[in-house]
Chain A
């Protein structure tokens, strides 16, 4: 029991940090994926007096990556229903040119406004519609959730880090006699702290495996059984093999920082 408590008091706060980091990674990937989805499905609507090619658009703003002309004849047919053919041709002639314009990346509202201004500066372009509001509202919500998650995880990480430091101080106290004897016989600070490093590294590896296990279970069992479409479709975002290395790297980094913090902050 004592042995389990000895290790759990380190493993649990470490897991809290790692779970937080993994949640953040998953949410970050989900946001990125949503952003790509938004960007791919988004296009501006441009009304021009003369026909324009992609290079003309690119000259006005370099973020424009594609332009597609809307079929004017189909539009003219709709408008000129019941009108004779001569008049229909006149309508077609009088109609401006319509384009769906795509961008090379996700743009904020202010960037969209700037692109609109660049396009409207051209004499050839009559009107630009960005549909900015519907485009950014959902993304802003995502960003807000991401921000609050970051604050919460940061706070949780800080508290967990202090718990880890506290636990290390307890370990240092438990091993103080051994460390004192080693010091008297000339052991360096690193060698004396070896026992702290060793225990912490083993516990950090255990915490990484357990955290990875939790997310793998979420990915392969819970996500499937939840029947939530978005989770099933984006299952690959839940845990990736590189995440294990990221978590392991971070946990070892925390071990190094906390051991140094404890060992150097109160040398006695």
Chain B
């Protein structure tokens, strides 16, 4: 990744079939920035986020993530890119048949790290999200807030250069939401990880500097 930009979109258009969701959007995100993308329901926030981890390919224009052009990206390169991303979902997307510990080390398993490294990282991450005592439990035995903390720990497991979060606190109460925002702010501040969050509303407790894009009428505009 030679460029200073972690994300660079130029005249980006995203569509589902014939239906355009995002049209002619241009924006860029630098290393270590914390970015919020907001917009009304159905405006295309999640679609934009999906395009950043290669779930949807650009219809037109250019989208570069971590130095890789996402249009026509090969399976191999996409898999490689995804191993360097941390992704957090509103519905957590944890594997319910696996223990908390195993869920957390999933990115390390995929990258082929040894069991010893996985164990050490799991201990460290679970301590960081204050879930050490739950490591042998299963996701469905935890509360929503605890499950999302597992999701954050999983996203941080491989020290990603970019964390993408889709409504990470959408299903959580205020206390749990604040814990999640705190964890993400810390990742950005201490690890210099770029964080891009798609959300309805920017949390009031947020104290660090951040950038804010809004999606409106298929366009992406910077408002802060």
Contact = CB atoms under 8 A, between A and B. Distances in A.
A188 B79 contact: yes
A186 B97 contact: no
Interface string B80-115: 111101010000011111000000001100110000
Contacts of B80: 186
Given A181-B106, A182-B106, A187 B79 contact: yes
Contact of B53 (A180, A182, A184, A187): A184
Contacts of B85: 186
A177 B106 CA distance: 14
A181 B103 CA distance: 10
Nearest to B111: A186
A178 interface: yes
Query: Taking each of B83, B94, B106, which has the highest tally of chain A beta carbons within 10 Å of its own beta carbon?
Result: B106
A191 interface: yes
Interface size class of B (residues with CB under 8 A): 20 to 34
Interface string B96-139: 11000000001100110000000000000000000000000000
A264 interface: no
A180 B110 CA distance: 13
Contact of B95 (A177, A186, A188, A191): A177
Interface in A183-224: 184-188, 191
Contacts of A186: 78-83, 85, 107, 110-111
A191 B79 CA distance: 12
Nearest to B95: A178
A185 B97 contact: no
A185 B83 contact: yes
- Chain A binding site: helix, strand, loop or mixed by DSSP? helix
Contacts of B95: 177-178, 181
A37 B154 CA distance: 70
A117 to B, nearest CB: 65
B163 to A, nearest CB: 13
B79 A181 contact: no
Nearest to A184: B87
B134 to A, nearest CB: 19
A248 to B, nearest CB: 28
Nearest to B50: A184
A186 B79 CA distance: 4
Contacts of A184: 53, 55, 82, 87, 93
A181 B94 CA distance: 8
Nearest to B103: A181
A182 B110 contact: yes
Contact of A185 (B55, B96, B110): B110
A177 B98 CA distance: 12
A199 to B, nearest CB: 12
Contacts of A181: 93-95, 106
Contacts of A191: 110
B187 to A, nearest CB: 17
Contacts of B110: 182, 185-187, 191
Nearest to A179: B95
Nearest to B97: A178
B33 to A, nearest CB: 23
Contacts of B79: 186-188
Query: Taking each of A178, A180, A188, which has the highest tally of chain B beta carbons within 10 Å of its own beta carbon?
Result: A178
A245 to B, nearest CB: 32
Contacts of B87: 184-185
Given A181-B106, A187-B79, 16 more contacts: A177-B93, A177-B96, A180-B93, A181-B93, A181-B94, A182-B110, A184-B93, A185-B82, A185-B83, A185-B87, A185-B107, A185-B110, A186-B80, A186-B81, A186-B107, A187-B110
29 contacts: A177-B95, A177-B96, A178-B97, A181-B93, A181-B94, A181-B95, A181-B106, A182-B106, A182-B110, A184-B82, A184-B87, A185-B82, A185-B83, A185-B87, A185-B106, A185-B107, A185-B154, A186-B78, A186-B79, A186-B80, A186-B81, A186-B82, A186-B107, A186-B110, A186-B111, A187-B79, A187-B110, A188-B79, A191-B110
3 shortest A-B CB distances, which residue pairs? A186-B82, A186-B83, A186-B79
